Amino acid sequence: MLAATLGTVPALASPASAAAGPVTISVQATPNPVATGQAVAYTVTVSNVGSGTASNVTMTDALNGVGTGQSTTPVMTSSVGNCTYSSPQVTCTAASLGAGQVWSVTITGAVTAAAGSTLSDTAAVSGSESSSTFSASATTTDKVSPSIAPGFAQTKLAGGLKKPIAIAFAPNGDIYIAEQAGTILIYRNGAILPTPVITLNVFNVGETGLLGIALDPNFATNGYLYASYTVPVTTSAGPNQPYAQLSRFTVVNGVASPASEKVLYRGNQVQLPDGSSGSYDHAGNDLKVGPDGKLCGALGTTYPQSAMGRR
């Protein structure tokens, strides 16, 4: 979806606590209010206020109105034990909590609830202490505010796009839209044109692919469209070795022929997966035309390269 948005400034939420017992629990939401699509963090605090050791302690939290964002799981940190996620519930376990020990768990996800609604999050804890079982729960609420500031309006321009990642505005009012998998489309007079400008052959794994487009300052007369994307190249190291590439295409009547491609720059080192996750992240490759009419390109942190230079 293409839209104009402006976020609100969040505040902190007050924690909610359970009734007194051998083990107590509280949960706090940050920020509050929160906007749709914004990250919200639930901090759950479990305290052993009894005189003995609590064993087989389990904490659960069902994430209502909160998703995982770009990951397959929410971000979870735990001061003791470990946490697992099976949508929509987070389950954390600790073998034992000594008298006076505090267990802190933070769960961060993306808000999927609609503006104007109220998030209600309940965390529960159970276990045993001094040969008796215990259970406690706590609930906190978080208001989902509009994602735009007062005085602004949000209007949906287009839907059904597949990972739209960059846009460029043509002098005639057309909006050029780049999809990460390599397709460039035109939005005109309230609709996406059925014929793509061009579909590029890109290496699209993780955060690579078609990542930047820009139109020449003289686009109305020369039709130059610049695209920064990751190309699959066969090298001595093997097939599909991804390199960053900056190319120029010539658009005629809303269509660019692949034969019009002029390669302006290709990276001098292969993009490599992130060492910790094995995913192709932080490729960068954004494009912008500056006020001086020069084309500027950004590089990410996945791999070192020389500067992309100027047009």
CATH of residue 265 = 2.120.10.30
Domain that holds residue 82: 16-145
Residue 305 lies in a domain: no
- The tokens for 294 are 């020069």
Confidence (pLDDT) at 136 = 96
Peptide bond into 74 cis (omega under 30): no
How many CB atoms neighbour CB 55 within 10 A? 12
CATH of residue 76 = 2.60.40.1530
252 vs 147: which has the higher pLDDT: 252
As a whole number of angstroms, the distance between CA 283 and CA 197 comes to 24
Number of structural domains (the chain) is 2
As a whole number of angstroms, the distance between CA 154 and CA 6 comes to 9
As a whole number of angstroms, the distance between CA 220 and CA 172 comes to 8
Instruction: Give yes or no: residues 116 and 174 share one domain.
Output: no
Residue 171 lies in a domain: yes
Residue 210 has pLDDT above 80, yes or no: yes
Nearest in space to 216 (alpha carbons), one of 169, 165, 177: 169
**157 by DSSP, 3-state: which?**
coil
Residue 155 lies in a domain: no
Q: Report pLDDT digits (tens) over 223-255.
A: 999 999 988 876 666 666 788 889 999 999 999
Confidence (pLDDT) at 303 = 43
Residue 60 lies in a domain: yes
Those residues whose C-beta lies under 8 Å from the C-beta of residue 194, and which sit 6 or more positions away, are none
Most confident range, picked from 96-110, 154-168, 296-310: 96-110
Least confident interval from 6-15, 122-131, 154-163: 6-15
Q: Report pLDDT digits (tens) over 71-93.
A: 788 999 999 999 999 999 999 99
Residue 89 lies in a domain: yes
Of 111, 145, 179, the last residue of a domain is 145
Band the pLDDT of 311: cuts 50, 70, 90. very low
What average pLDDT does this structure show over 107-131?
Answer: 93
As a whole number of angstroms, the distance between CA 123 and CA 90 comes to 9
Instruction: Give yes or no: residues 101 and 173 share one domain.
Output: no
